[in-house]
Structure 1
Amino acid sequence: MVTLNLPSSDEEKTRLGGEAEQNFIRLEKALGVRLLTRNPGITIQAENPADAGRARDLLQKMTEAARSGQLLPEFYIDDLLTTPRPGAGIT
């Protein structure tokens, strides 16, 4: 089990999670990770480092977008989830 912690204020977590934390739930299902938000920051738990890292990267992008005043609608989350990671698929 891999555990990462991403610093995040309560206000940021509320904005990132969206209504009823649906954004967090979608990330958990799509990436196979667990996101814990009760303690300070966001704790990411995953079976392997790649999944944890992908979740951390997406949450950081979401945080940057929210800090710049952007909304985080469903299509934005969909776009993040379907965008390949740099170097993915290269052999």
Structure 2
Amino acid sequence: MKRRAQPQVFRIAAALLLTAAIAGQWWQRQPAGVIAGWVPAMAKAHCPAAVRGASTIADSARTLDRWSYAVIGNLVFRDGRDRCQAGEINRRG
């Protein structure tokens, strides 16, 4: 049984995936610019526990993640806690 070469489309897709992964790592560490102001302000108005500041694009994304985890936690776990109040979200690094 002979091994055949992969079709060209798979080679191109693998190269594009690797390029996107490398570019994404570089892009997330860039200063957040204008997004640094409105993401924490919007999150603080609705869920103060999710805000820890945002100096890079990745920090703004983490703020949105913490906010969504708190909202989903309030919907799923009906234990009477408000996870959006300051101090309710675990402060893990």
TM-score in terms of structure 1 length? 0.38
TM-score under structure 2 length normalisation: 0.38
Higher relative contact order (CA 8 A, sep 6+): 1
> Which structure has the bigger radius of gyration?
2
Higher helix share: 2
